[in-house]
């Protein structure tokens, strides 16, 4: 197994250099125009417009208005570079999806332009709504990933690692309905939806010592009432249940829902629970991840050993990774210890340091893609590993 030639790798690096200004401009433009999950009209338009120079582009794929797919070449193998571009409420691109989008697009363009002679298909798939809406899960269910042999993407962070485990996750919306009444004159006629919600949170807290230490249950109250002198007739909370595997998430979800039902019974209210899209645990393809790590090292990037311990975040790439070989390496774009999903990260992912790192990752992803297209034995190794390796879980 040799991968692509050094000449192709050099041509890819040169092509990234040629489009570097465009990619950085794109990254900063998306950063300046943050859009929430499934509302990414501006980002989807910008990305698909840039793709059209070299790819046949379909918009609104899988029934999602802000999803798209660009394809070039034909046949097998087919590799797809994935782009995320939604932002977070209140803090914008505090998860660095502006970098993911620019890097994924850059990898696809550079590979296609630098090595059009390679066999197979190169795709760039825009996957909206990673922050809770599960865009990749919906696209997977709609058949968008059928025929894709490998999916490549990355995520910004405070260290560079080729693989990282991720928790499975289920998002819940919990709503209590009670009876309004004057809180002083006729409180006995009321049934407090807020009391039910408080009991729910207290009840969930009582579960914490009886769940696996890597599990997480956390939420916020988004509506707690209208006025302090009115018994609240309606409350609403958004909650997340995480664990190392989907099976444990399913069990914990039932236990959390039982707490909500008990809180409703105790307070004379009723409860409604809506389940969001389930995010699965992650199954990293170590062969592809190793290729990307090697190409990063050749550019002088320090690649750390994977940290497979403790709880961590969740992503809808997990669902894709259980169906086909996929990678989700992490790239250092900010100082170690900088928290993700924070204003500090929002600021960091707009800095020159982050843009330079993104360009190096785009080069590494494109070179790894070239290796897979050029060497059938290498792709056989990818498929063989996928067939026998399970999800990455902490020791």
Mean pLDDT for the stretch of residues 111-123 = 97
Do 100 and 128 have their domain in common?
yes
User: In this prediction, what percent of the chain has a pLDDT beyond 90?
Assistant: 93
Spatial neighbors of 257 by CB under 8 A, at least 6 apart, are: 172, 273
Residues 155 and 239 in one domain: no
Q: Could you tell me if 124 and 209 lie in one domain?
A: no
Examine the pLDDT at 395 and tell me if it is beyond 70. no
What's the whole-number mean pLDDT along residues 70-75? 96
202 lies in the same domain as 127: no
Asked if 217 and 143 sit in the same domain, the reply is no
Given 258, 278, 298, the domain boundary residue is 278
Q: Are residues 239 and 368 in the same domain?
A: no
For residues 123 and 47, membership in a common domain is answered with yes
Give the residue-averaged pLDDT of 22-27. Answer: 98
Instruction: State the pTM of this model.
Output: 0.93
Whether residues 256 and 317 share a domain: the answer is no
According to DSSP, the residues that pair with 242 across neighbouring strands are 169, 216
Domain region containing 210: 168-278
Mean pLDDT, rounded, of the chain:
95
- Residues 71, 143 within the same domain: yes
Q: What is the pLDDT of residue 175?
A: 98
Asked if the structure places residue 1 within a domain, the reply is no
User: Last residue of a domain, which of 278, 301, 332?
Assistant: 278
Q: Is 48 within 8 Å of 66 (Cβ atoms)?
A: no
Is pLDDT at 179 greater than 80 in this prediction? yes
pLDDT at 1: 64
Write the pLDDT tens digit of every residue in 39-51.
999 999 999 999 9
Domains in the chain, number: 2
Pick from 11, 43, 41: nearest CA to 29: 43
- Angstrom CA distances, 186 to 58, 158, 193, stand at 60, 55, 16
Q: What is the 3-state secondary structure (H, E, C) of 190-215?
A: CECHHHHHHHHHHHHHHHHHHCCCCC
- Which among 103, 44, 32 is positioned nearest to 347, based on CA atoms? 32
What CATH number is given to the structural domain containing 222?
3.30.70.360
In tens, the pLDDT along 216-260 reads 999 999 999 999 999 999 999 999 999 999 999 999 999 999 999
Mean pLDDT along residues 106-127? 97
- Report the CATH number at residue 294: 3.40.630.10
């Amino acid at each position: 197994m040799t991968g692509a030639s050094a000449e192709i790798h050099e041509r890819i690096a040169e092509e990234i250099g040629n489009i570097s200004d465009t990619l950085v401009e794109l990254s900063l433009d998306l950063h300046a125009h943050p859009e929430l999950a499934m509302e990414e009209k501006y980002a989807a338009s910008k990305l698909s417009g840039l793709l059209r120079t070299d790819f046949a582009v379909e918009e609104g794929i899988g029934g999602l208005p802000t999803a798209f797919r660009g394809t070039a070449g034909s046949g097998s193998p087919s590799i797809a570079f994935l782009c995320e571009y939604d932002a977070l409420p209140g803090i914008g691109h505090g998860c660095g999806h502006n970098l993911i989008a620019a890097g994924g697009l850059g990898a696809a363009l550079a590979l296609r332009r630098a090595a059009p002679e390679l066999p197979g298909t190169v795709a760039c798939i825009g996957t909206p709504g990673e922050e809770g809406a599960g865009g990749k899960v919906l696209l997977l269910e709609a058949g968008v990933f059928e025929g894709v042999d490998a999916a490549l993407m990355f995520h910004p962070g405070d260290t560079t690692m080729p693989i990282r485990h991720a928790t499975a996750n289920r998002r819940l919306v919990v709503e209590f309905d009670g009876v309004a009444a004057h809180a002083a004159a006729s409180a006995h006629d009321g049934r407090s939806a807020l009391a039910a919600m408080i009991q729910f949170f207290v009840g969930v807290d009582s579960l914490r010592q009886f769940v696996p230490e890597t599990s997480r249950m956390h939420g916020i109250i988004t509506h707690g009432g209208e006025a302090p002198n009115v018994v609240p007739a309606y409350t609403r909370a958004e909650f997340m249940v995480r664990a190392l595997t989907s099976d444990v998430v399913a069990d914990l979800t039932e236990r959390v829902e039982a707490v909500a039902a008990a809180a409703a019974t105790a307070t004379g209210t009723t409860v409604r629970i809506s389940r969001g899209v389930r995010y699965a645990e992650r199954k990293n393809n170590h062969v592809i991840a190793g290729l990307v790590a090697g190409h990063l090292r050749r550019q002088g990037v320090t690649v750390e050993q994977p940290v497979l311990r403790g709880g961590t975040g969740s992503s809808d790439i997990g669902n894709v990774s259980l169906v086909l070989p996929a990678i989700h390496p992490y790239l250092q774009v900010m100082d170690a210890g900088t928290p993700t999903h924070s204003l500090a990260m929002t600021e960091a992912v707009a800095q020159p340091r982050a843009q330079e790192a993104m360009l190096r990752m785009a080069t590494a992803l494109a070179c790894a893609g070239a290796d897979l297209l050029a060497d059938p034995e290498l792709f056989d190794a990818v498929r063989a590993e996928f067939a026998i390796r399970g999800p990455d879980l902490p020791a």
